[in-house]
Structure 1
Amino acid sequence: MTSTFFILIILLAVVAAVIGHNHLSIIPLPLYFIFVGIVISLFPLYHNFTFNPELFLFFVVTPLLYNEAQSASRYWIGRGAINIASLSIALVIATVVIVGAALHLLFPVLPLALAFALCAIVTPTDASAVSAFAKPNPNFQIPFTILQNESLFNDASGFVAFDLALLAFATGTFSVNGAVGVFILEFLGGLVIGAIIGALFHFVRKQLIAFGDDRPFVMIALELIVPFLVYFTAEHLNLSGILAVVAAGLVQGVENDNLQLISTRMQLVRANIWEIVEEALTGFIFILLGVSLPTIISHITSRTPGLLLQLILLGFVLYGLKLVIRLLWTRYLVWMHVQSKHRWTDSWLMAVSGASGTISLSLAFLLPTITNHNATIDRNALIFVVSIVILLSLTVAAITVPKITQLPAATVEEKPLAQWTREMIMTAMNHIRNNTDHPAEAQIVVDALSQQLHQTNRSNHRERRKLYELAYAAEHAAITEMHTHGEITADEFKYYKEFLDLSLLTVDNNLVQNLLLRIRFGIHTGRLYQDLQTGQDMFFTTPLIAEQYYWQKQFAAHHEDIRPIEEVGFQAALAALKGYRHEKGSGITVELHAVQRFYRERHRRINMPSPDEQVVYQLFLAAFHAEYEFFQAAINRGDITIDMAEALQQHIVFDEMAYIQNNGTFIN
């Protein structure tokens, strides 16, 4: 029960960290995760928290690598096979041997085998974390593609090298021939077994699609099972489970490429699920480091005074040596596919982008407890050094990568995506406003589209309340003037004033007030129609809408008409809001939009005929079509790039899906 609660706490912590990063993205997201983890460690329940490293590898690392593999480009993997071998195998071996030996010479307190293990841990690179820092720049597309492919395969190489180093430390002996044999067996054997199992599931999923059984639940459930089954099978055969997972992911990626427009709903669900799983698991790993870090530091300082500073220096030296080797290697031993005019810049980008991240931290947590109590360097010390390298590499990447990839000022997009999106939505709104044949339906579509213009703005409750009171006062004055001039009866004036007073209560959205209003409208409507079901329906209708329907029926029951009165009040309220806007000299704020939308919807429900669902559907299609035409025209003029157009198209596609799933909510 404690472990389950801890997982829930971590999920909440991941959410908090992601929200924080969304508002201050200059700080790398992993640092947010670590900080939140440190905060969690302050609670007594999570002091000295321990977990099973094998379960950690099985349930956390395996799905991460599988998703990374199936998302990789098979085309670039084929073209970049030489670079993959160079960076993911040769560079890993060179880094482990050269840097490991150097660390042992510079820091004799670190045994040679553990120095090799430490280097193996930090060789996997986190291309996804680094790519988040980069600015969109077509000049560096090839370096980032090379980095993505390297990241996929050097994860597996790092795991194999890590296992060999730990084996040498545990046995005290090391055979080059034996190590090479084990490396080849685990590497190739893992790839073969993973490819076989991946191909088998590929066939099963293909048959399910052919027979029409490709429901998202069935397909996604099978896909989530694959990495665990592959890893378990490979490890049982003493092969590399990590490489087997990578191979299975690559095979699965081939199926995803071939699907194209087939089983599109499953593909969309799959993409969303894997995005959530990946971000949650990545956050879990770094938060776990934050939870463990205070205990690790406390353990180090209590055992050997002064060791903490030595370990920090060790982390800096390890990162520096790794960076130098990586810079020279990428400059002289990496094929760039095309001639580059900024070859050293490419190498610097690939060097600083070789940041350690999720997989390195996962390997660190897999370190066994060192049984030699006289050893100065133990598991906690090694995890701490790895943490220093991760933090240092991510910080350097966060600072340097944006500067390297920054486009010259003259070629920067003049308008950001948010502005293009706004213009696209306003184009669709203006297109629908021109429809005079169906004013009620057009108003529904325009209001729905206009909400998107203000969805990212925070609403000020006091300012919104002030606007409601301004509109209320204007409407009240207009109705009073109608009564004074004898245009409405005393009863109509009395009932409409009560209608206005209750409206001011409903817009507050107060829970207690809404409950009381639901009861009131439900009882009165039930009495009015002598029908319990009608009263019950009114009770379960939001008071904002129920009140308007209620007073329509009340006026009708007294042989009176609320519509001309509401028309006068509506025009007076909008005129007051328009005057306020001109007085302040500002545009439509989120508060002003909300109040205007309330009055337009009320006016539609009371004064316009009931909307036709089919007409609403047709107008939404027309709005989406207008948005498509907008960005197509922008592409033809050369105003936006293909990437920008794809982002706008994705916006429209998601809007269409949201409408299809919730079309009933627009008719009320």
Structure 2
Amino acid sequence: MELFIAVLVLLVLIGLSNILNRFVPFIPVPLIQIALGVAIALLPAGVHLPLNPELFFVLFIAPLLYNDGKRTPRHELWNLRAPILLLALGLVFVTVVVAGYAIHWLIPTIPLPAAFALAAILSPTDAVAVGAMAGRVHLPKSIHRLLEGEALMNDASGLVAFKFAIAATVTGVFSLAEASFSFLIIAIGGLLVGAVLSFLLIRLGVWIRRLGMEDVTIHMLLQILTPFVIYLVSEEIGVSGILAVVAGGIIHAIERDRTESVQLKMQVVSASTWSVILFILNGLVFVILGVQIPDVLSTIFVNVSFNNLQVLGYVGLISLLLLLLRFVWIYLFWQGNEWFRKKSPIGKPRLQEISIISLSGVRGAVTLAGAFSIPYVLQDGSPFPERDLIIFLAAGVILFTLIAASVFLPVLAKNDEKTTDGSQQTTERKAKDIMLNAAIRAVKSEMTDENKAAALAVVSDLSKYIRQAAGQLTAGKRKDILKQETAINLIGTRAERREIENMLDENVIASEAAFKCNSWLDRKEMMLANRTNTQMMFSISEIGRVLGHLFTNRTEKPDQPFMIENADLFRQVKLRTSEAAIKAIRAHMNDGNRPVALSVIAKYERVIARLRSWNQGKTEDPFNQEKLELQMVAIQEQRNTVQQLYENGEINRDVAAKLRRFINDVEATVLKNS
């Protein structure tokens, strides 16, 4: 029961941290969550959760890295493979050697192998922390992807180096050749095992689907279990579970892209489910980190053998050394190496960009979990040298890098944004396009035979927004769009006329009824032709209302009794002619006229929906209610997409605010017209 209450408290703190961030947006959510964790641990009856490293890695790190591998663009990672490997492998081992010797020189009571172990666990950047920091500021896309790729890969290299350093400390034996060979086996084996297991689990899902089990919940459960299965099996085999889940996420993304059009509903449910899971896991990582800090600090601060100011100085010096090593490493390869610069898609970054990359090397919960995994005793039974101090230094470096990134990254990134106002406008247009296309996919996933007319109407409206966002509805383009719409309407009208002739041949309608219908189509075609010549901005519905008003008050009055007496027949005619018009328009639809064609089809579908509801004896038209529901689905999906783009660092706070205002305006208009 105590554990259950503790978990509930942590979940409440996650929600509270996001609320507080609204009032203090200049403080990143991770720091707020760490502070709340510290506060709840300091209370007399506070939460105290012992950190089990193995459980922490499988419960938190595995699904988070799996998701990172799933959503990180593969082609961009491949293009950045050289700088990613230099940071994830080269910088890690340079850090282990240089920082290891420096720590041993600075703190002689820490043996050299143990100093290497501390340097190794401090070398990997934390994917969760990097994502949280990058989400607050607008980083250049290539730098953001570089940091993501580095964080995905360097956990494995850092943890492997840490493992061998700990083994050397415990046993007193170390072989460089054996360590290098083991690293290759562990890394390559992890990638292969993760890819194979992910492929097999995907095939299992396909097999279940072939059995006729299309229930989304079953497939979603299989997807949630995937990272845990991959990690546990990989670790049991003896390869890197971290690289395995990353590889598994990439394989899942490949399969998702291949079947996106077939399993659209599954994609929507998956995105929604994972967004909740990741929100909780990301928050728990930092809250749990905060809960551990008081115990870690008190162990050192209450120990009379340590000078508190001195150990705090150690934290500062080690943190600055790590930042300096990172800065120098990046500078040497990007600024001083002409060959490497040509191979790298980043090109030659400025000192400002190098500083951003250096400060973004945030350490996180992976470092602390690794430090807690240090054994208490050596092989001979003696205590592990300075274990408490090593854990304290690891926690201190985590806090130092988080605070430094929180303070200086926004300043550096903000200065960079001032020089890229034009690119920000481009980013806003691209983000709006992504947002609206996501809304279209969400609406299509909800489309059924019953709400098809409403769904197409919503998709048509969203497509217009996309054209507007892309600047396609300028004065010069409107004429072409009007011509397209007129041509599509004429295709539909002529298809209606052919269907009337077919019905006449089939003796479904009499010649008098066919004449009445054709007369209306004649007037409709005439108005469409005039519209092309005079640029009259009428829609089909507006033309119908104008004609109805004119002819009802004048020449059509004598025909009203005939129309009323044969209302059922004319509804049947209109139903068939509308279906024929849709079929003809679809036959002529191509990439050039697709948005306009879908808009016209949506109007025909609305007519069909109304006629069918009338035939079924329904007095109320369900179209408006269905359209409102789908519009709200689209609006919510747009909000989710903006939040995801912001968290991924693809848009900054200003762009996100503009997009949210746009969504709010659309929502207000929808609710006003409903």
| TM-score (structure 2 length as normaliser) | 0.61
Tell me if the contact between 1:191 and 1:244 (Cα under 8 Å) persists in the aligned partners: yes
The answer as to 2:249 corresponding to 1:249 is: yes
Sort the Cα spacing of 1:110 and 1:651 in 2 relative to 1 into closer, same or farther, 3 A.
farther
Counterpart residue number, 2:200: 200
Tell me if the contact between 1:215 and 1:266 (Cα under 8 Å) persists in the aligned partners: no
Counterpart residue number, 2:408: 400
1: CA distance, partners of 2:349 / 2:52: 47
The answer as to 2:323 corresponding to 1:323 is: yes
- Classify the secondary structure of the residue corresponding to 1:40: helix
Counterpart residue number, 1:612: 620
1: CA distance, partners of 2:660 / 2:35: 37
Shift, 1:654, TM fit? 14
Counterpart residue number, 2:94: 94
Sort the Cα spacing of 1:612 and 1:221 in 2 relative to 1 into closer, same or farther, 3 A.
same
The answer as to 2:137 corresponding to 1:134 is: yes
1: CA distance, partners of 2:189 / 2:5: 39
Letter in 2 for 1:396: A
The answer as to 2:289 corresponding to 1:289 is: yes
Q: What CA deviation, in whole Å up to 9, does each residue of 1:247-269 have, x standing for no partner? A: 21221121223233332222222
Higher normalized contact order (CA 8 Å, seq sep 6+, divided by chain length)? 2
Shift, 1:340, TM fit? 4.3
Shift, 1:88, TM fit? 0.9
Counterpart residue number, 2:356: 349
Counterpart residue number, 2:161: 161
2: CA distance, partners of 1:296 / 1:216: 44
Q: What CA deviation, in whole Å up to 9, does each residue of 1:322-378 have, x standing for no partner? A: 111211222232556347464322221111111112332332343333567766622
Tell me if the contact between 1:124 and 1:356 (Cα under 8 Å) persists in the aligned partners: yes
- Classify the secondary structure of the residue corresponding to 1:82: helix
Sort the Cα spacing of 1:111 and 1:25 in 2 relative to 1 into closer, same or farther, 3 A.
farther
Structure 1 residues 45-54 or 113-122, which shifts more? 45-54
2: CA distance, partners of 1:326 / 1:42: 35
The answer as to 2:368 corresponding to 1:358 is: no
Letter in 2 for 1:172: G
Q: What CA deviation, in whole Å up to 9, does each residue of 1:97-151 have, x standing for no partner? A: 111111111211222222222222222224202212323x6xx221221111111
Aligned equivalent of 1:411, options 421, 432, 456: 421
Sort the Cα spacing of 1:646 and 1:374 in 2 relative to 1 into closer, same or farther, 3 A.
closer
- Classify the secondary structure of the residue corresponding to 1:304: coil
Alignment map for 1:527-566 (pairs within 5 Å): none
Counterpart residue number, 1:377: 386
Counterpart residue number, 1:19: 19
Shift, 1:196, TM fit? 0.9
Letter in 2 for 1:199: F
What is the number of equivalent residue pairs in this alignment? Answer: 457
- Classify the secondary structure of the residue corresponding to 1:133: coil
Tell me if the contact between 1:209 and 1:263 (Cα under 8 Å) persists in the aligned partners: no
Tell me if the contact between 1:36 and 1:290 (Cα under 8 Å) persists in the aligned partners: yes
Shift, 1:75, TM fit? 0.6
Sort the Cα spacing of 1:8 and 1:649 in 2 relative to 1 into closer, same or farther, 3 A.
closer
Shift, 1:160, TM fit? 1.5
The answer as to 2:148 corresponding to 1:148 is: yes
Letter in 1 for 2:421: T
- Classify the secondary structure of the residue corresponding to 2:302: helix
1: CA distance, partners of 2:633 / 2:301: 65
Shift, 1:47, TM fit? 6.7
Counterpart residue number, 1:607: none
1: CA distance, partners of 2:426 / 2:72: 31
Tell me if the contact between 2:79 and 2:345 (Cα under 8 Å) persists in the aligned partners: no
Q: What CA deviation, in whole Å up to 9, does each residue of 1:16-53 have, x standing for no partner? A: 11221232121122211121112211344447642433
Shift, 1:94, TM fit? 0.9
Shift, 1:176, TM fit? 0.7
- Classify the secondary structure of the residue corresponding to 1:50: coil
Sort the Cα spacing of 1:82 and 1:378 in 2 relative to 1 into closer, same or farther, 3 A.
same
Sort the Cα spacing of 1:626 and 1:52 in 2 relative to 1 into closer, same or farther, 3 A.
closer
Q: What CA deviation, in whole Å up to 9, does each residue of 1:434-484 have, x standing for no partner? A: xxxxxxxxxxxxxxxxxxxxxxxxxxxxxxxxxxxxxxxxxxxxxxxxxxx
Tell me if the contact between 1:624 and 1:652 (Cα under 8 Å) persists in the aligned partners: no
Counterpart residue number, 2:171: 171
Tell me if the contact between 1:202 and 1:251 (Cα under 8 Å) persists in the aligned partners: no
Letter in 1 for 2:136: F
Structure 1 residues 126-135 or 45-54, which shifts more? 45-54
Tell me if the contact between 1:28 and 1:394 (Cα under 8 Å) persists in the aligned partners: no
Sort the Cα spacing of 1:655 and 1:266 in 2 relative to 1 into closer, same or farther, 3 A.
farther
2: CA distance, partners of 1:340 / 1:242: 30
Sort the Cα spacing of 1:312 and 1:272 in 2 relative to 1 into closer, same or farther, 3 A.
farther
Q: What CA deviation, in whole Å up to 9, does each residue of 1:234-290 have, x standing for no partner? A: 122122222222221221121223233332222222222222222322322222232
Sort the Cα spacing of 1:56 and 1:649 in 2 relative to 1 into closer, same or farther, 3 A.
closer
Shift, 1:66, TM fit? 1.3
Q: What CA deviation, in whole Å up to 9, does each residue of 1:52-109 have, x standing for no partner? A: 3322222122212211211221111222222222111111111111111111112112
Sort the Cα spacing of 1:278 and 1:410 in 2 relative to 1 into closer, same or farther, 3 A.
closer
Q: What CA deviation, in whole Å up to 9, does each residue of 1:354-403 have, x standing for no partner? A: 11123323323433335677666224x22321222122112222222222
* Structure 1 gaps, min length 5: 426-609, 628-641
Sort the Cα spacing of 1:261 and 1:314 in 2 relative to 1 into closer, same or farther, 3 A.
farther
RMSD across aligned C-alpha pairs, in angstroms?
A: 4.0
1: CA distance, partners of 2:47 / 2:418: 50
1: CA distance, partners of 2:318 / 2:93: 15
Sort the Cα spacing of 1:328 and 1:303 in 2 relative to 1 into closer, same or farther, 3 A.
same
Counterpart residue number, 1:181: 181
Tell me if the contact between 2:38 and 2:294 (Cα under 8 Å) persists in the aligned partners: yes
1: CA distance, partners of 2:251 / 2:292: 37
Counterpart residue number, 1:65: 65
Counterpart residue number, 2:84: 84
2: CA distance, partners of 1:296 / 1:234: 31
| TM-score (structure 1 length as normaliser) | 0.61
Tell me if the contact between 1:285 and 1:361 (Cα under 8 Å) persists in the aligned partners: no
Letter in 2 for 1:131: A
- Classify the secondary structure of the residue corresponding to 2:88: helix
Alignment map for 1:232-247 (pairs within 5 Å): 232-247=232-247
Shift, 1:623, TM fit? 7.7
Counterpart residue number, 2:273: 273
2: CA distance, partners of 1:414 / 1:277: 32
* Structure 2 gaps, min length 5: 335-339, 437-617, 636-649
Letter in 1 for 2:67: N
Counterpart residue number, 1:546: none
1: CA distance, partners of 2:75 / 2:108: 46
Sort the Cα spacing of 1:81 and 1:342 in 2 relative to 1 into closer, same or farther, 3 A.
closer
2: CA distance, partners of 1:87 / 1:7: 36
Q: What CA deviation, in whole Å up to 9, does each residue of 1:521-553 have, x standing for no partner? A: xxxxxxxxxxxxxxxxxxxxxxxxxxxxxxxxx
Tell me if the contact between 2:327 and 2:358 (Cα under 8 Å) persists in the aligned partners: yes
1: CA distance, partners of 2:630 / 2:7: 46
1: CA distance, partners of 2:657 / 2:269: 19
Counterpart residue number, 1:119: 119
Letter in 1 for 2:137: A
Counterpart residue number, 1:604: none
Sort the Cα spacing of 1:410 and 1:39 in 2 relative to 1 into closer, same or farther, 3 A.
closer
Identity of aligned residues (%): 29
Tell me if the contact between 1:365 and 1:383 (Cα under 8 Å) persists in the aligned partners: yes
